[in-house]
Amino acid sequence: MNAHEIDYQIFGEEMQYVELELDPREAVIAEAGNFMMMDDGIRMDTIFGDGSKENEGFLGKVLGAGKRLLTGESLFMTIFSNEIQGKKRISFASPYPGKIIPIDLTRFGNKFICQKDAFLCAAKGVAVGIEFSKKLGRGFFGGEGFIMQKLEGDGMAFVHAGGTMARKELSPGEKLKIDTGCIIGFTQDINYDIEFVGGIKNTIFGGEGLFFATLTGPGTVYVQSLPFSRLANRILQAAPQAGGKDKGEGSILGGLGDVIGGDRRF
């Protein structure tokens, strides 16, 4: 194996964290902000890229970091290494309510494609790169843009899902329509495209967006019930307006009631 072989255990129900066991000289990489706790004896370093191109010199590191920059992520990642004798443990927490999903890349042909915000941590040696869309429609209308992340290697990686996670096994030619934000990730054999919802009423009044993501098998798809973007939008909608007044969601008249009552001026 090129990636470090690590043992793990996932704790919790709705706000989960994953505990990784590192043997001497084993290491794990993670996005900044996911660290929770670790045993004494583990060293933390900030590295350029994902650490999978160490044998390719400076140019390899630059290329690896540049790919991360295209996904909107930082050029740097954090690596945690056990540099003393004996097993040590380190934990990473999910950023919001949901589930942590372990991905054994060897079971998926050494490649898994996921949303750029889904990646939590992985064994050192797993490459965190980009997956370009080959279709303009998917890039312009897919909601996730031209680029998704790809995890490559022969080690363990961990991704995070918001809310409840559903795993779908698609047979050859079987198609699944999904809200673009609800995709966590899928295996490399899945064909991913965008489909117009259709219908004037659906387009104008449907409130579900103009496009579905269509995923066609064979392969495995992971779906989340609560994308972070949806959670953030609901929080913003419920937040009080400037001046301390709420938005009147509990009122039948809502904003019209403010106008009638004299609380809103033009």
Question: For 169-184, what is the mean pLDDT?
Answer: 91
Q: How confident is the model at residue 2 (pLDDT cuts 50, 70, 90)?
A: confident
The 10s digit of each residue's pLDDT in 52-109 is 665 555 555 555 555 555 555 556 789 999 989 899 999 999 888 889 999 999 999 9
Pick from 13-22, 52-61, 74-83, 209-218 the range whose average pLDDT is largest.
13-22
Q: For position 54, what pLDDT does the model report?
A: 57
**Beta strands across the sheet bearing 175-178:** 175-178, 211-216, 191-196
Domains and CATH numbers, the chain: 7-230 (3.60.160.10)
Local confidence band at 206 (pLDDT 50, 70, 90 cut-offs): very low
How much is the mean pLDDT over the chain?
Answer: 78
Look at the pTM and tell me if it is higher than 0.85. no
Q: Give residue 15's pLDDT.
A: 87
Instruction: Name the percent of the chain lying above pLDDT 90.
Output: 41
Higher pLDDT: 220 or 48? It is 220
Residue 200's pLDDT band (cuts 50, 70, 90): low
Higher-pLDDT residue of 61 and 166 is: 166
